């Protein structure tokens, strides 16, 4: 099995870091993985995205035309990537910065007010962890325990004081995913 994921937003939203954590968690879980970042020269405020492929076997290509899942941290990302997600795929939307719902009805859409949830936790930098938690819950690509372990093992020791807040942010995202998916199936 192979799962192709795109994480997209503005530079400074933690797009690349979220992808790295996902890639480390996959690698540490014995999966084959690629992480391919892309960002403009502006870095902060410019566009940024990364592609993560998680597979049980060798990965044949870094190119992803139609991902199974996309995290959209802002409206331009939704506009760009919504048409590309495979039918039946997962679209995770940051409702704090996206003022519309998905246009497609053939996707599983997860909506999380990531900025508000991060601010409730006291750190706006946790937006990416909220969204990553929602993705993991909606896709099952990896376990939450694998993501938490990757954070603990790969976050520099000087930032380990941020682990509890990141773990809580992951769970807040997972809760948002459970809520929106339950509402869709009702």
Domains and CATH numbers, the chain: 2-178 (3.40.920.10)
Digit-coded pLDDT (tens) for 11-69: 878 899 999 999 999 999 999 999 999 876 655 556 789 999 999 999 988 888 999 99
Give me 83's structure tokens.
Answer: 């048409």
Q: Could you tell me if 163 and 52 are in contact, meaning their C-beta atoms sit under 8 angstroms apart?
A: no
Report CA-CA distances (Å) from 126 to 11, 24, 37, 78.
14, 18, 20, 20
Residue-level pLDDT at 62: 83
Helix and strand tally (H, E) in the chain? 6, 6
Q: Could you tell me if 139 and 89 are in contact, meaning their C-beta atoms sit under 8 angstroms apart?
A: no
Average pLDDT, the chain: 92
């Amino acid at each position: 099995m192979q799962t192709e994921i795109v994480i997209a937003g503005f530079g400074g939203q933690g797009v690349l870091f979220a992808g790295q954590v996902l890639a480390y968690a996959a690698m540490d879980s014995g999966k084959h993985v690629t992480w391919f970042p892309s960002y403009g020269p502006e870095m902060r405020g410019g566009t940024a995205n990364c592609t993560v492929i998680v597979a049980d076997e060798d990965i044949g290509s870094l190119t992803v035309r139609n991902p199974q899942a996309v995290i959209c941290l802002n409206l331009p990302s939704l506009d760009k990537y919504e048409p590309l997600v495979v039918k039946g795929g997962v679209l995770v939307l940051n409702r704090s910065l996206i003022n519309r719902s998905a246009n497609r009805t053939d996707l599983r859409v997860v909506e999380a007010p990531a900025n508000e949830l991060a601010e409730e936790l006291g750190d706006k930098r946790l937006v990416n962890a909220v969204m990553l938690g929602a993705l993991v819950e909606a896709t099952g690509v990896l376990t939450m325990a694998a993501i938490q372990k990757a954070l603990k093992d790969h976050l520099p020791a000087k930032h380990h004081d941020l682990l509890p807040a990141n773990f809580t942010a992951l769970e807040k995202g997972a809760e948002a995913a459970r809520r929106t998916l339950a509402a869709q199936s009702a």
